[in-house]
Structure 1
């Protein structure tokens, strides 16, 4: 990678981060950047733009492809940004949390699935930041961990065998994860008020279950 490419990628990174940390709706900039301007389709940012080619099961994601969902999640996260202790980690996680769906999405039994996209995505997050020569170790580790654990609330709520509360507690700030979790759950199409209320209830139930294991009382999400 020549010096010009390094500078261009750093400029893009800085511009994205500026919008993630300051905009009321970062998706306004991000949609134009990732969906309309093909000059921006350079690695590793293609790891994000490629998500517009990844379908999702309409039952769970009536909003459309993965990138459409991610844009909605980013805006939901921006609404909760002031509650975060690590705003850069939360906002980059909202953008990158489903990055693992590109290699894992397959049609099984006539429905779209993305098994292990959380684990695969955690590794891809590291690849993304390494390709930018990013030296923000706390950011890199934080976003990778948020991506790795962003499905845990669903597993815990539904008492699924994929839940791993003990390991999760050791690796991540649960209250920060809950901000990503609720943004992820609300960042989808056609939710009515009762469905939104249920999502808030479910995330708080997740926090209660984790509290029982950790012995720490986590703040409720509202």
Structure 2
């Protein structure tokens, strides 16, 4: 029987080399291994719903599969494809643990913060490369700051984001995140990402 470590390596190979990693991921997500720690954290995304207004594609898993496929198209622009693709897969891993229904609205406040901690624990099960683990975790931790900056929200930590991430890598992940929604407009989202970079760079 294939081990969890072998599945991790297989996932990584498909993330790095497939045009549509979601095909493999959807297949493997139905395996018994996805019921075991920490792969069960990925499985939990399949049963976590999102706001239909912002995510008409449905579950966190459905969104993540769209993001991963977008990331596969964009990874040639990344300075570290391995970090970038794992961040695409794990960016919303914190949503199952933070999703609540408040006044009829589905929210997942602080899923980025919880997700960063979960990303570290997830990757530590398979890798001892601290630089790799921290780089992925940091992209997960700060990925929501694109929205915070664009909307001028007060609870962002711009200096922390600039200290702990490569802004171009974060912006590339952000583009894929925003494109990972049913009906997303690429031209509009690229303008949003350019605006994010302009706003952040102007604060340097």
Please tell me the TM-score bracket, short chain as reference: over 0.9
Kept in 1: contact 2:34–2:42 (CA 8 A):
no
Aligned length, in residue pairs: 204
Kept in 1: contact 2:4–2:33 (CA 8 A):
no
SS in 2 for 1:112: strand
SS in 2 for 1:73: helix
Gaps of 5+ in 1: 215-222
Which of residues 172, 175, 179 in structure 1 aligns to 2:172? Answer: 179
Is it true that 1:16 corresponds to 2:11 in the alignment?
yes
The 5 Å alignment of 1:81-120 reads: 81-120=75-114
Is it true that 1:201 corresponds to 2:201 in the alignment?
no
Aligned to 1:217: none
Residues 158-191 of structure 1, C-alpha deviations (whole Å, 9 max, x = no match): 0001222111111110001111000000001123
SS in 2 for 1:118: helix
Structural RMSD (CA):
1.3
Is it true that 1:79 corresponds to 2:77 in the alignment?
no
SS in 1 for 2:76: helix
Runs of at least 4 residues off by over 6 Å: none
Kept in 2: contact 1:185–1:199 (CA 8 A):
yes
The 5 Å alignment of 1:34-183 reads: 34=29, 36-132=30-126, 134-183=127-176
| TM-score normalized with structure 1 length | 0.89
CA distance in 2, matches of 1:161, 1:50: 31
Aligned to 1:218: none
Kept in 2: contact 1:101–1:121 (CA 8 A):
yes
Which of residues 23, 30, 40 in structure 2 aligns to 1:28? Answer: 23
* Larger gyration radius, structure 1 or structure 2: 1
CA distance in 1, matches of 2:15, 2:182: 21
Q: CA deviation at 1:12?
A: 0.9
Q: CA deviation at 1:196?
A: 2.9
